[in-house]
């Protein structure tokens, strides 16, 4: 059988081709089970039985955006009643609070607000690092980098260098979706091109700024589109070595404009458990040995399915997130926050050893046993919900030049 022959090829140490990967997406029944078993065994050989996570907070500082991506239910137009822009004081309050509660990272991503000053992202980095120098700043997608560089009339390289000097530690490799302009033009016309995404990622790596890398799957793309995406990022990693992890993001359809408004034909609205596990297993096999860390995304698919991904090639459980609002806005029902104790419980019940890590996968603490001392008194009420946020008139977007006051 073709799937078995491909898995035998991988077991012999030969790199899988695009055609190999596409064929693996046909795996069902016993062939799927073998695929999952092979991916799990490869994960064990590469990273053992430790499963990592990071204590972090998301700060989505504005939902106002000049783009209208078909999959995004988070963004609002600048005149929308629900549009908001967090004041600098609120951003810094959230950073300080996150650090007090044990976070080592803040992840900042947001919409592309109109009338933004070109120096905004640089000034925001500097303000955060002045307030909490020890926090790792994981911020700004390639789309935001392109926006800031364009507004400031700088080259990508100069803009990234300025961000690094201001304290940027790493970039989230989001806005990747599917790295094929045919697909991108369907689901997000006007979004950053594949060529520009690659150019920014390569420039960041060349400057010593590590990045993650993602895929958003389960909408209109084909199996071949997915595998070409994997092959492309594998080639970049061979060249630069700058990716810290790969994060498969399943499409959340319930509130996506392209589904609700029927903007794109042929959009899938349901991703099965087997679809998710198959994506993880093939990612592990295709990217080996170049990208070692594969993250299970609990916020997209829930802790239970994320736990199952640990038997399909994943070795990381992601972040605690605190205030995640982008997936939540899209209709993901799994919450804005997962307590570290709960995260360790899911990892431990999968038969693995929980490890707290840094953003760049440095081991911070190994939890052979659950600690006896109590954790910080975290609660979702402490951080507030997205609905509470947008109801506050203090955070409403006003048509003005966006800058740090």
39 CB-side CA count, 13 A: 30
Residues above pLDDT 90, as percent of the chain: 70
pLDDT tens digits for range 102-154 = 999 999 999 898 989 999 999 999 999 999 999 999 999 999 999 999 999 99
- Say whether pLDDT at 405 is over 80: no
Helix (H) or strand (E) holding 257: helix 257-260
Give the tokens for residue 371: 């600690």
- The residue among 175, 170, 125, 128 whose CA lies nearest residue 147 is 175
Instruction: Provide φ and ψ at 116, rounded to 5°.
Output: -80, 140
pLDDT class for 202, splitting at 50, 70, 90?
very high
Residue 213 has pLDDT above 70, yes or no: yes
Domains of the chain: 2-395 (3.20.20.70)
Q: What's the confidence (pLDDT) of residue 331?
A: 41
Digit-coded pLDDT (tens) for 288-335 = 999 999 999 998 888 899 999 999 999 999 999 875 444 444 444 445
Mean pLDDT of 235-245: 98
- Residue 217: pLDDT above 60? yes
Render the burial of 138-162: b for 16+ CB within 10 Å, e for the rest: bbbbbbbbbbbbebbebebeebbbb
The pLDDT of residue 165? 98
Average pLDDT in the 10-28 region? 96
Whether pLDDT at 70 is above 60: yes
* Terminal-to-terminal C-alpha distance of the chain: 64
Is the predicted pLDDT of residue 386 greater than 50, yes or no?
no
pLDDT of residue 371: 85
Write out pLDDT tens, residues 76-92.
654 445 688 899 999 99
Residue 376 is encoded by which pair of tokens?
């910080």
368-375 mean pLDDT = 80
Q: At residue 279, does pLDDT exceed 90? A: yes
**30 membership: H or E segment, kind and range:** helix 29-47
- Reply yes or no: is the peptide bond before residue 289 cis, omega within 30 of 0: yes
Residue 393: the pLDDT is: 44
pLDDT for position 335: 52
Q: What kind and span of H or E run contains 217?
A: strand 211-217
Residues with Cβ within 8 Å of residue 126, at least 6 apart in sequence: 166, 167
pLDDT reported for residue 77? 52
pLDDT of 402: 45
Q: What number is the average pLDDT over the span 195-215?
A: 98
Tens digits of per-residue pLDDT, 147-189?
999 999 999 999 999 999 999 999 999 999 999 999 999 998 8
pLDDT of residue 152: 96
pLDDT tier, 399 (very low <50, low <70, confident <90, very high otherwise):
very low
């Amino acid at each position: 059988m073709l799937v078995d022959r491909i898995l035998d090829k991988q077991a012999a140490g030969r790199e899988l081709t695009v055609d190999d990967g596409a064929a693996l997406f046909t795996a069902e029944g016993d062939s799927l089970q073998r695929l999952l078993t092979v991916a799990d065994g490869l994960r064990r050989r590469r990273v053992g039985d430790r499963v990592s996570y990071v204590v972090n907070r998301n700060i989505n500082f504005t939902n106002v955006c000049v783009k209208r991506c078909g999959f995004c239910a988070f963004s609002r137009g600048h005149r929308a009643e629900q549009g908001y822009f967090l004041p600098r004081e609120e951003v810094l309050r959230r950073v300080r609070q996150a650090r007090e509660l044990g976070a080592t990272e803040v992840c900042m991503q947001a919409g592309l607000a109109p009338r933004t000053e070109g120096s905004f992202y640089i000034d925001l980095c500097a303000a955060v690092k002045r307030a909490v120098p020890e926090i790792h700043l994981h911020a700004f997608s390639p789309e935001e980098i392109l926006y800031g560089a364009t507004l400031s009339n700088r080259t990508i390289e100069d803009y990234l260098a300025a961000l690094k000097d201001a304290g940027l530690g790493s970039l989230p490799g989001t806005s990747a979706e599917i790295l094929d302009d045919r697909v991108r033009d369907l689901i997000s016309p006007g979004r950053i091109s594949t060529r520009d995404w690659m150019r920014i990622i390569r420039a960041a790596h060349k400057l010593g700024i590590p990045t993650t890398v993602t895929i958003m799957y389960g909408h209109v793309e084909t199996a071949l589109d997915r595998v070409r995406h994997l092959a492309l990022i594998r080639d970049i990693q061979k060249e630069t070595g700058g990716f810290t992890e790969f994060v498969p993001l399943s499409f959340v359809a319930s509130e996506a404009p392209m589904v609700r408004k029927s903007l794109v034909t042929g959009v899938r609205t349901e991703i099965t458990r087997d679809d998710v596990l198959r994506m993880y297993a093939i990612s592990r096999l295709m990217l080996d040995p170049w990208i070692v860390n594969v993250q299970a995304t609990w916020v997209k698919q829930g802790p239970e399915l994320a736990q199952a991904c640990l038997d399909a090639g994943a070795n990381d459980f992601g972040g605690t997130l605190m205030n995640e609002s982008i997936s939540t806005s899209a209709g993901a029902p799994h919450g804005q926050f997962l307590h570290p104790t709960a995260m360790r419980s899911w990892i431990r019940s999968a038969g693995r050893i929980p490890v707290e890590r840094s953003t760049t996968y440095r081991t911070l603490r190994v939890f052979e046993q659950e600690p006896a001392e109590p954790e910080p008194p975290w609660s979702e009420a402490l951080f507030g919900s997205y609905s509470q946020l947008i109801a506050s008139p203090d955070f409403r977007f006003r048509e003005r030049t966006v800058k740090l006051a």
